[in-house]
Amino acid sequence: MLRNRTLEQYMKEHLSLYIFVGVIFVTGVVFGAVMVNALSLEQKQEITRYLGNFFSIVTQGGLESGTASSIKESFTMHIKWVLIIWLLGLSVIGLPLILILDFLKGVLIGFSVGYMVGTLSWKGLLFALVSVVPQNLIVIPLLIICSVSAISFSILLVKNRFISRKGTLYEPFMRLSGTILASGFMLIGVAVFEAHVSPVMMKWVAPMLITMPPS
């Protein structure tokens, strides 16, 4: 009962931040998808050639899977975002930079999925569903949770320094650090999934995409 009340209180205090960060991320996704239309013909042809080579490598089994290096690479890529958000949350000027990071993450995902769908139609959507979507179903909520926690701490830091010096920041700092640590453990699972499962799913779908329509 106490835990439910604590969760309810937490959501009441942070719901507006979750909505705001979510809107920033979705705006980034939309912006990234729209960017696809702004590419020149040469840029589209270059990306299409790169994707064609990548699909051939995946089909031929040339993509590393299940190795320690692939797990480390995937984990490092994800944990960098979380650690940067944590560090920015510890600074007074970190709040807008955290929002910029969330926007950029949305842009990356929106551009990736938008290009594949725009170029390859339903086949591109299928490839996106096996290569981009699964891990991001975990990664994106984790980034939003970490962002809200870091923004909350940054706001407390500003209040403590410039408005009121009452109270201590020890407990909020430990909550933020605990959130980052828990996210790190979950990202290990994401890295293992990307290293072991994603290459297998991509190998199923890639043969349909080797012969791609011209951009």
Number of domains in the chain: 1
Identify whether 26 is part of a domain.
no
Identify whether 35 is part of a domain.
no
The model's pTM is 0.87
Identify whether 164 is part of a domain.
yes
Identify whether 181 is part of a domain.
yes
Domain assignment of residue 52, given as a range: 40-209
Identify whether 25 is part of a domain.
no
For the stretch 166-209, pLDDT in tens is 667 888 899 999 999 999 999 999 999 998 888 888 888 877 77
pLDDT of residue 4: 53
Check whether 211 has a pLDDT greater than 60: no
In degrees, to the nearest 5, what angle opens at C-alpha 193 toward C-alphas 98 and 183? 35
> Torsions phi, psi of 71, nearest 5?
-65, -45
Identify whether 6 is part of a domain.
no
3-state secondary structure at position 26: helix
Identify whether 34 is part of a domain.
no
Identify whether 15 is part of a domain.
no
Residue type present at position 147: S
Lowest mean pLDDT among 27-36, 82-91, 108-117, 203-212: 203-212
Lowest mean pLDDT among 31-35, 77-81, 167-171: 167-171
B/e letters for 62-97, b = 16+ CB within 10 Å, e = fewer, are: ebebeeeebbeebbeebbebbebbbebbeeeebbeb
For the stretch 126-161, pLDDT in tens is 888 888 889 999 999 999 999 999 999 999 888 877
